[in-house]
Amino acid sequence: MHASPERFVPVLRGPRVTLRPPAASDADAVWRIGVHPEIERFFGEDTGAEWRESTQEEAEALLAGLAPCDDGVGWVIDAGQGFIGTARLHSFDGAAGTAAYAVGLLSPDVLGHGFGTEVTRLVLAHAFDVLGLATLTVRVLEFNTRAIACYARCGFLYDRREPDAVALDGVSCADVIMRLDAQRYGRLAPG
């Protein structure tokens, strides 16, 4: 697979979610969702104890980070009512056929409803069936058991633990690295 600065961002559709390129109206949705401390903690950030509105700069930066580039492709997650989060393939290694995957649902209201699993399965189908990748990895903080369970449901297996990935509230937290290869994906993929 060859990475290109003009990387195409396809629209991926599932039963309840659509993955699409960002639109101008998404900045308003990011602002409405705001910054939730419990969500930010899953990303290794300490934003304080209270919800707050996103700044215009934060909203713009989040959406700009989804722009296609030689190292990644990103999507807005739209659950029918607009933006609820992002998904991204990044850190492509064309020679090895590898990339990393990240998904972020940005409101606590949408957690626990299977959106992360549906999004992950859509991205896996694109990564393995369309892009022809050999391996995908994910990196998740060890206390994010909901995300770890989602990735495991989608076929990722534990690869290794990287201690001291981030310090939160003075406590060192490890990253769990999970891996899924094309062969295992092919055995697990529906139809």
Least confident interval from 52-56, 62-66, 82-86, 139-143? 52-56
Instruction: Quote the mean pLDDT of the chain.
Output: 85
Digit-coded pLDDT (tens) for 3-25: 444 568 899 999 999 999 998 88
Digit-coded pLDDT (tens) for 93-123: 989 999 999 998 877 777 788 999 999 999 9
CB 105 within 8 A of CB 117: no
Under the banding of pLDDT at 50, 70 and 90, the label for residue 1 is: very low
* 3-state secondary structure (DSSP) of residue 185: helix
CB 84 within 8 A of CB 67: no
Residue 48 has pLDDT above 50, yes or no: yes
Under the banding of pLDDT at 50, 70 and 90, the label for residue 187 is: very high
Closest alpha carbon to 119 in 19, 36, 21, 191: 19
Neighbouring C-beta atoms of residue 166, cutoff 10 Å: 15
| The architecture CATH gives domain 12-136 | 3-Layer(aba) Sandwich (3.40)
Domain definitions of the chain by residue range: 12-136
Can you say how many angstroms the Cα of residue 2 is from the centroid of all Cα atoms in its chain?
Answer: 21
pLDDT of residue 4: 43
pLDDT of residue 149: 95
CB 12 within 8 A of CB 87: no
Helix (H) or strand (E) holding 176: strand 171-181
Residue 87 has pLDDT above 50, yes or no: yes
